[in-house]
């Protein structure tokens, strides 16, 4: 292998789509990072645990999908304490955090430091939430130069706020296509914490 990419999924888990993403990853022996919406995770605890037991990184996304620019520092700290506490009850201790919409504030960075969480963005946005076809999303990636060592790729395994699609089948298909392309060009996969990525 000549390097690694990090496939990342926000807003899940979803009882319909997350298992299909997990199966697509397993078919290629790939690792990924799931930035979990803990409110959904409470309802799908077994699925959150399944993500971890199948070798993927469970990371923190949110308890409520609200822009940090609309949160006070006190509100944000409460949310993170709550979310991490609930994940701890599931036996999980995240080391990575992605803020909703990727919007970070000074308070975000202070809370992250206090909890020893590394903040993660992305350098490849699939825009899968728009409902684009798999072919269109893959063509857009190729137009930007294709897959490269260290890429951190943003996808969604659930329908989050602002989604303009009815399901995540195109994301499932894109996962398989990206992994096949990674194999073709000699790139492996890793979680963000293991691989570090271009944003390290």
- pLDDT for residue 195: 67
pLDDT(49) > 90: yes
pLDDT in tens, 74-90: 999 999 999 999 999 99
Mean pLDDT for the stretch of residues 48-74: 97
Q: Give me the residue spans of the domains in the chain.
A: 3-195
pLDDT in tens, 80-118: 999 999 999 999 999 999 999 999 999 999 999 999 999
Q: What are the backbone angles phi and psi of residue 191, rounded to the nearest 5°?
A: -65, 165
Closest CA to 7 of 99, 104, 120: 120
High-pLDDT (> 70) share of the chain, %: 96
pLDDT(62) > 80: yes
CATH class label, 3-195: alpha beta
Q: What are the backbone angles phi and psi of residue 6, rounded to the nearest 5°?
A: -120, 110
Q: ∠ CA 146-102-59 to the nearest 5 degrees? A: 85
- pLDDT for residue 162: 87
Assign 167 a pLDDT band (cuts: 50, 70, 90).
Answer: very high
- pLDDT for residue 196: 55
Distance from the first to the final alpha carbon of the chain: 20
Q: How far is Cα 177 from Cα 179, in angstroms, rounded to an integer?
A: 5
pLDDT(200) > 50: no
Assign 137 a pLDDT band (cuts: 50, 70, 90).
Answer: very high
Provide the sign of the torsion angle of the four alpha carbons 82, 86, 91, 95, taken in this order. Answer: negative
Q: In whole numbers, what is the pLDDT of the chain averaged over residues?
A: 95
Choose between 199 and 113: higher pLDDT.
113
Q: What is the pTM of this model?
A: 0.96
pLDDT(197) > 90: no
Mean pLDDT for the stretch of residues 169-182: 98
């Amino acid at each position: 292998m000549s390097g690694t990419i990090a496939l990342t999924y926000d807003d899940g888990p979803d009882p319909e789509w997350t298992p299909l993403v997990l199966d697509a990853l397993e078919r290629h022996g790939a690792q990924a990072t799931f930035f979990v919406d803990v409110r959904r995770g409470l309802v799908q605890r077994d699925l959150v645990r399944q993500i971890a037991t199948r070798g993927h990184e469970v990371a923190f996304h949110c308890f409520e999908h609200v822009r940090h620019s609309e949160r006070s520092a006190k509100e944000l700290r409460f949310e993170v304490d709550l979310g991490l506490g609930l994940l701890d009850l599931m036996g999980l201790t995240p080391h990575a955090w992605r803020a909703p919409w990727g919007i970070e504030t000074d308070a975000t960075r202070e809370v992250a430091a206090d909890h020893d969480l590394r903040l993660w963005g992305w350098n490849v946005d699939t825009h899968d939430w728009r409902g684009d076809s798999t072919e269109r999303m893959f063509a857009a990636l190729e137009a930007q130069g294709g897959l490269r060592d260290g890429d951190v790729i943003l996808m969604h395994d659930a329908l989050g706020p602002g989604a303009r699609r009815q399901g995540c089948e195109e994301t499932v298909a894109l996962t398989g296509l990206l992994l096949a392309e990674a194999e073709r060009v000699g790139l492996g996969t890793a979680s963000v914490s293991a691989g570090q990525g271009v944003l390290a």
